[in-house]
Amino acid sequence: MKTKCNEIDSRIQRTSYQVFPGIKLVYNSIHVQSIDDTEKSDDDVIEICHCREGRMEFNLRDEFCYITPGDIIIVRSGDITGASYFPIGHYHGISIFIDIDRAPGCLSCFLGDVKVQPKLLAEKFCSSNRCFVARSNPSFEHIFSEIYSVPEKIRRGYLKIKTLELLLFLSAMEPEQDEYHTRALSKTQVALAKEISRYLTEHMDNRITLDQLSDFFHVSGTQIKTAFKAVYGVSFYAYIRTQKMESAAYMLEYTDKSILEIAGEHGYDNGSKFANAFKAVKGLTPTEHRSRNLFRQHDE
């Protein structure tokens, strides 16, 4: 039923549950920007992904789409190209994989009135080489919030119920609510934003202005701001601060370095300024963040 996978290191944690034959639910906790999991399968599989925190990219041939907290995307696995990419290096969410050939033809075999047919869901949301993207709404939030918080001792049965609830809700949802085409980005826009990100990361110790970026990349400031915000969801100034604080949060959780040491490694020679910046991004002081995560690890 449960398979826990720790890939590369503790920055990538995926816990997988086989909910029904051909249907798997995975909890994702990601603290890197890219995962090379591009191995392809000939199986006909659709993915339903819900973003709880952070940001995730989907490369669909020559277009790109991003999901943010509360969003869901429904897509055929075979339509996704490239490595998994997480623009801000931080992502928590749930993925449900449905193997159309192995899943029951109709899930009413598990609950009589649940007339859910995975093949029809795939045709409804993923036909004509497209995917489906929807913003947060109360129904999705209700379903997924309970999946994230279910106690381990009842998780096996509870995930069956919540998966059926989600699929039943989707079976009544109209594809016209799709927002993919209003949110898709071109390869050129994404490439520019990622080049800027690499440049900013390599020059963390310097204060980089918009005019400097415009001169270096030979594009207008407006193009830079538009492309960067579309991919990363924030201005490039906010992005740099967030990257530093996410890196600091990881060190607080998984190293024994002092808070002052961590502050220094992220360009802060003043512990108070570091604490204020950290709280602005993470909502907790460095001390509170470390204490909470030590308690959580002990509890687990």
CATH number for the domain spanning 112: value is 2.60.120.10
Structural domains counted in the chain: 2
Q: Which residues pair with 158 in a beta bridge?
A: none
Helical ranges in 150-209 per DSSP H: 152-171, 180-183, 187-202
Look up the domain containing 197 and give its range: 186-299
Q: Based on the domain organization, do 236 and 284 belong to the same domain?
A: yes
Predicted local confidence at residue 160, as pLDDT: 92
Predicted local confidence at residue 299, as pLDDT: 45
Q: Based on the domain organization, do 179 and 198 belong to the same domain?
A: no
Looking at residue 286, its amino acid is P
Please report how many Cα atoms fall inside a 13 Å half-sphere around the Cα of residue 156, on the Cβ side.
Answer: 4
Tokens of 136: 């947060």
Predicted local confidence at residue 29, as pLDDT: 93
Predicted local confidence at residue 26, as pLDDT: 96
- The enclosing domain of 252 has a CATH number of 1.10.10.60
Predicted local confidence at residue 20, as pLDDT: 93
Question: 193 near 235, Cβ under 8 Å?
Answer: no
Query: What stretches in the chain show pLDDT beneath 70?
Result: 1-9, 37-42, 111-114, 129, 177, 204-207, 294-300
Q: Based on the domain organization, do 237 and 281 belong to the same domain?
A: yes
Count CB neighbours of 218 within 10 A: 6
Q: Among residues 183, 217, 250, which one ends one of the domains? A: 183
Q: Among residues 183, 200, 217, which one ends one of the domains? A: 183
- Per-residue model confidence as pLDDT tens digits over 127-141: 876 788 888 778 788
Predicted local confidence at residue 253, as pLDDT: 87
Q: Based on the domain organization, do 214 and 232 belong to the same domain?
A: yes
Q: Based on the domain organization, do 55 and 100 belong to the same domain?
A: yes
Predicted local confidence at residue 58, as pLDDT: 93
Regarding pTM above 0.85, the answer is no
Query: What is d(CA 53, CA 70) in angstroms, rounded to the nearest whole number?
Result: 8
Query: Reduced to 3 states, what is the DSSP secondary structure of residue 103?
Result: coil
Q: Based on the domain organization, do 111 and 239 belong to the same domain?
A: no
